[in-house]
Amino acid sequence: MLSLNLPAFDAQIAVRDGKRVIFDAIRRRYVALTPEEWVRQHFVHFLIAYKGYPQALMANEVQVRLNGTRKRCDTVLYRRDLSARMIMEYKAPDVQITQAVFDQITRYNMVLRVDYLIVSNGLQHYCCRMDYANGRYTFLPDVPDYNEL
């Protein structure tokens, strides 16, 4: 798989039924190894190992209902009271981060109303903090450490 702008980690990759799979530590099972999944696993590992995010407060493929349809957030970070705190949206490395990607994560946030949104294609990462009182958001220079949230 492609080298990313994220720290390498000891990915557990196997072949099942002729297809490559990767172990997802959050879901505790092997999942299909797609380019987007490659980004997700690297980014989750980065958050846990380098930014101090508690694995127990993270979930992958979180379903939300939006306008009568079911959508899935790639990763959600929760508070200890299990309210959502951050949404992460991943794209494959060859997918450009465009306004459409931000529109997608913003739709998810209409349901969850989190404090932070992150978008990454493994090469570029964007993190913004929501300011609901003023109806704005601020892009941050880096993904904050967990203890800074």
* Phi, psi (rounded to 5 degrees) for 118: -130, 135
Would you say residue 83 lies in a domain? Answer: yes
Instruction: Work out the average pLDDT over 114-129.
Output: 98
pLDDT at residue 2, rounded to an integer: 83
Question: pTM for the whole thing?
Answer: 0.95
pLDDT in tens, 129-142: 999 999 899 999 99
Residue numbers of the domain that contains 34: 13-142
Separation of alpha carbons 57 and 80, rounded Å: 7
DSSP string over the chain: ----SS------EEEETTEEEEEETTTTEEEE--HHHHHHHHHHHHHHHHH---GGGEEEEEEEEETTEEEEEEEEEE-TTS-EEEEEEE--TTS---HHHHHHHHHHHHHH--SEEEEE-SS-EEEEEEETTTTEEEEESSPPPGGG-
Average pLDDT rounded to a whole number, residues 30-39: 97
**How confident is the model at residue 47, as a pLDDT?**
98
Report the pLDDT averaged over residues 11-33.
Answer: 97
In a domain, 79, yes or no: yes
- Is 113's pLDDT higher than 90? yes
CATH number of the structural domain spanning residue 115: 3.90.1570.30
**Predicted local distance difference test score (pLDDT) of residue 1:** 72
| Total number of domains in the chain | 1
Closest CA to 22 of 40, 49, 4, 5: 40
pLDDT band at 17 (very low <50, low <70, confident <90, very high): very high
Specify if 94 maps to a domain: yes
Whether 147 maps to a domain, the answer reads: no
**N- to C-terminal Cα separation, the chain:** 32
Q: Is the pLDDT of residue 5 over 80?
A: yes
In this predicted structure, the answer to whether residue 66 has a pLDDT above a threshold of 90 is no
Q: Do the domain assignments include residue 48?
A: yes
Instruction: Give tens-digit pLDDT for 35-55.
Output: 999 999 999 999 999 999 999
Q: What is the pLDDT of residue 88?
A: 98
Mean pLDDT for 81-99 is 97
Residue 127 has pLDDT above 80, yes or no: yes
